[in-house]
Amino acid sequence: MTDYITLLKSNDLKATIQRTSILKVIEEVGHISIDDIYESVKEQHPTLSLATIYKNIILMQQHNVIIEVPMNGEKSKYELKKNDHIHLICQSCGMIQDQHLTAQTEQTLVLENFKLNRVQINLYGLCSECQS
């Protein structure tokens, strides 16, 4: 369980109840769209507006608190900022699971003439549940 207040302040953002609520939902669900954040956060804070979510999603990205996970054929999801990792995406049930990015994989991606900053890997397929 992350301390969202410290997380926000250490990234030069004021710790409002709206922001900590948004971060809590993101961490609980793992990867979540703006609409689903709204639906979820409204339960505890019925006055929290969609405009506030939009503004904060943009701001918290700029301040390196969260990152966008662009998705094929649907709206982007968002996750707490972490080290580079792999997303396993089940094409049947929609599950998204983080997977450790091995040094071995990283080594195979090193190229001359390209200064690599960030690796984004999505693997689409079937999770174990959906294979049966």
Q: Which does 71 bind (CB under 5 to 8 A by kind): its own copies, DNA, none?
A: its own copies
Q: Using CA atoms, how far apart are residues 76 and 113, in angstroms rounded to an integer? A: 30
Binding residue (CB under 7 A) for DNA from 49, 62, 64, 122: 49
Question: Looking at 48-56, 78-86, 88-96, 100-108, which segment touches DNA (CB under 7 A)?
Answer: 48-56
111 CB-side CA count, 13 A: 8
Question: Looking at 8-16, 64-72, 82-90, 101-109, which segment touches DNA (CB under 7 A)?
Answer: 8-16
Could you tell me the CA-to-CA distances from 116 to 63, 70, 112, 119, 128 in Å, in that order? 21, 19, 10, 8, 32
| Site membership for its own copies, residue 83 (CB under 8 A) | no
Q: Which does 16 bind (CB under 5 to 8 A by kind): its own copies, DNA, none?
A: DNA
The closest alpha carbon to 77, from 52, 94, 91, 64, belongs to: 94
